[in-house]
């Protein structure tokens, strides 16, 4: 009996040890699980990152396209046309006395262009052909001055050096004679396309590198059209020049009783040649529009004008037009 109780007591004494050991193991495992759980939820230390492009840098590197509007296209077209129009050495000359009598001529560079002007005494209904080159060897006309139905003067070029020369007819073109001494007192270009203008009394510097037309009011006042379509006036025989504003597209120039008449092409106001008058101070008055099917670049070399007390003459494309009401009708 005693032995049985001792064995039972020994077994009883061993039971608490196993329980204690199991409890220790459980606690250790539980602690490990808690530590692992905490590590899995803790924030990681920062590492290298790739920055995203900002909105401003993205828009700069890849700009988006904006569809062009009709207004944008029209504006671009206007700028392109305006920048492409420049004056050139005239290929046509026109000078009138009144609404019936006028001379016209085609011209060009010396020595290639013969001087063969035509005369009308019936408002352009008929034309009489003449030949200055045949009798004087003067070529490449640059100015025509009409003083009566029978009398007219011409300035052209002659000789191997294409020197300026003055020619006159007193018999409506039936005969011509050189009159060199008249050159000194007459405005002309020396030569066309150069930087020299001849004023009464001597040569003066042109207001630009290439003057293509000179148109005088008297011995002191004149205007010069340059190959960039700029217009310049002088009131002191070329000692000083003043540039006139608002002459974009100017391709032809003539004098009038009160100032100057200019033909402008490539303007938005006129599908053809726009005529505008300028006084010596540069004030502009729009005169009228001579419509034409030709483009501005073609009109730049196919336009000649003149303005008398009685009429405005316009030689545009293949038509000769006359207005006796200040450009309102043709």
Quick: pLDDT tens for 171-192: 999 999 999 999 999 999 989 9
Q: What's the chain's average pLDDT?
A: 83
Tell me, yes or no, whether 315 and 217 share the same domain.
yes
Tell me, yes or no, whether 149 and 234 share the same domain.
no
Query: Which residues span the domain enclosing 318?
Result: 209-324
Rounded to an integer, the average pLDDT of 26-55 is 44
- Residue 47 has a CB neighbour count (10 Å cut-off) of 5
Please state, in angstroms and rounded to a whole number, the distance separating the CA atoms of residues 236 and 110: 30
Position 257 scores a pLDDT of: 80
Please state, in angstroms and rounded to a whole number, the distance separating the CA atoms of residues 188 and 277: 21
Model-wide pTM > 0.85: no
Tell me, yes or no, whether 214 and 317 share the same domain.
yes
Contacts of 222 (CB under 8 A, 6+ apart): 187, 197, 199, 214, 215, 216, 233, 234, 237, 238
Tell me, yes or no, whether 174 and 220 share the same domain.
no
Does residue 59 register a pLDDT over 80? Answer: no
68 in any annotated domain: no
Instruction: Report the SS3 class of residue 69.
Output: coil
How many folded domains does the chain comprise?
2
13 in any annotated domain: no
When comparing pLDDT for 224 and 60, which is higher?
224
149 in any annotated domain: yes
What is the domain-level CATH number for residue 221? 2.130.10.10
Q: Give the end of a domain, one of 127, 161, 191.
A: 191
């Amino acid at each position: 009996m005693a032995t049985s109780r001792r064995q039972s007591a020994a077994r009883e004494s061993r039971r608490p040890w196993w329980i204690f050991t199991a409890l220790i193991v459980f606690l250790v495992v539980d602690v490990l699980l808690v530590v692992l759980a905490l590590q899995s939820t803790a924030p990681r230390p920062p590492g290298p990152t790739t920055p995203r492009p900002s909105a401003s840098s993205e828009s700069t590197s890849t700009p988006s396209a904006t569809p062009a509007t009709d207004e944008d296209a029209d504006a671009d077209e206007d700028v392109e046309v305006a920048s492409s129009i420049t004056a050139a050495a005239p290929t046509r000359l026109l000078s009138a006395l009144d609404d019936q009598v006028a001379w016209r001529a085609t011209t060009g560079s010396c020595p290639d262009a013969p001087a063969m002007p035509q005369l009308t005494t019936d408002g352009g209904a008929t034309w009489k052909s003449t030949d200055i080159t045949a009798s004087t060897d003067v070529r490449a006309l640059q100015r025509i001055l009409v003083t009566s139905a029978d009398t007219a003067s011409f300035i052209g070029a002659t000789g191997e050096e294409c020197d300026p020369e003055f020619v006159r007819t007193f018999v409506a073109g039936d005969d011509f004679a050189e009159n060199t001494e008249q050159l000194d007192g007459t405005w002309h270009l020396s030569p066309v396309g150069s930087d020299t203008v001849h004023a009464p009394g001597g040569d003066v510097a042109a207001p630009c590198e290439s003057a293509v037309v000179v148109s005088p009011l008297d011995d002191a006042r004149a205007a010069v059209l340059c190959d960039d379509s700029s217009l310049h006036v002088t009131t002191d025989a070329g000692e000083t020049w003043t540039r006139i504003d608002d002459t974009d597209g100017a391709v032809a120039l003539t004098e009038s009783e009160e100032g100057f008449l200019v033909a402008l092409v490539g303007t938005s106001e006129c599908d053809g040649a726009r005529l505008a008058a300028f006084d010596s101070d540069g004030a502009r008055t729009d005169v009228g529009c001579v419509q034409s099917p030709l483009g501005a670049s073609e009109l730049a070399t196919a336009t000649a004008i003149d303005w008398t007390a009685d009429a405005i003459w316009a030689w545009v494309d293949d038509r000769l037009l006359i207005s006796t009401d200040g450009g309102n009708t043709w």
